[in-house]
Amino acid sequence: MPIIDSAIYVLRIALLVIGAVFLVIAVVDWAVRTRQINPFSAIARFCRRVIDPVLEPIEARVVRAGGLPTQAPWWGLAAVVVIGVLLIVLLQWIRGTALSFSFAASQGGMGIAALLLQWVFELLKLALIVRVIVSWIGMRYSWWARLSYTLTDWIVKPIARALPPFGMIDFSPLVAYVLIYIVEIAVMRSVFG
């Protein structure tokens, strides 16, 4: 996968440069907004003319969420970092998936069946992780949260009924994750050994 490896390398360099530029922008804009730099200086005028229009959508969201306008550059920097990490992880996942599929295809029908079964187990484990995160942040009614509950209710609800309560902590998703992991290992070893 030399093409994807090259893309990941170029993306890392580009994101590092973009992150560094955005860090400088965030520091300078913060200094202007907090009056660490004279508001009538050339740097301050440059910030108001060039940087502020770029940060305006971020600032509007920050203010609507109850934050201060001076926090906008830092939230923008955080967004650049998070989006960059997600892009790199996505490309690495595509690379790994392509390699897995290539290897499975070289093994014939059993290899592809093993790969598909492994993907099902991984999807269930991911849905359990999403379910736990959603319960923490309270976004249960978004479409992806409902999907995670739909995919995992069949195993989590019986475990929740069988487990004794532990105060406010629900251990049923953790137990379900461990059970799915054990079943995955058992099935993959017995069927595809």
User: How many Å apart are CA 102 and CA 5, to the nearest integer?
Assistant: 16
Report, as an integer, the average pLDDT of 133-141: 81
pLDDT tens-digit map of 24-73:
888 888 888 888 888 888 888 888 888 888 888 888 888 888 888 888 88
Q: Report which DSSP code applies to 168.
A: T
Interhelix angle 72-106/109-137, rounded to 10 degrees, is 160
Determine contact, residues 67/5, Cβ cutoff 8 Å.
no
CA torsion angle 92 94 99 100 (round to 10): 110
Task: Band the pLDDT of 122: cuts 50, 70, 90.
Answer: very high
pLDDT, position 136: 82
Domain assignments of the chain as residue spans, ordered by start: 1-106, 108-193
Q: Is the dihedral of CA 66, 61, 139, 87 positive or negative?
A: negative
pTM over 0.75: no
Determine contact, residues 160/139, Cβ cutoff 8 Å.
no
Give the number of other Cβ atoms within 10 Å of residue 65's Cβ: 9
User: How many Å apart are CA 22 and CA 72, to the nearest integer?
Assistant: 12
In three-state secondary structure terms, 171 is coil
Q: Which is higher by pLDDT, 139 or 129?
A: 129
Mean pLDDT, rounded, of the chain:
87
Beta strand segments in the chain, E: none
Q: Is residue 151's pLDDT more than 90?
A: yes
Q: Is residue 175's pLDDT more than 90?
A: yes
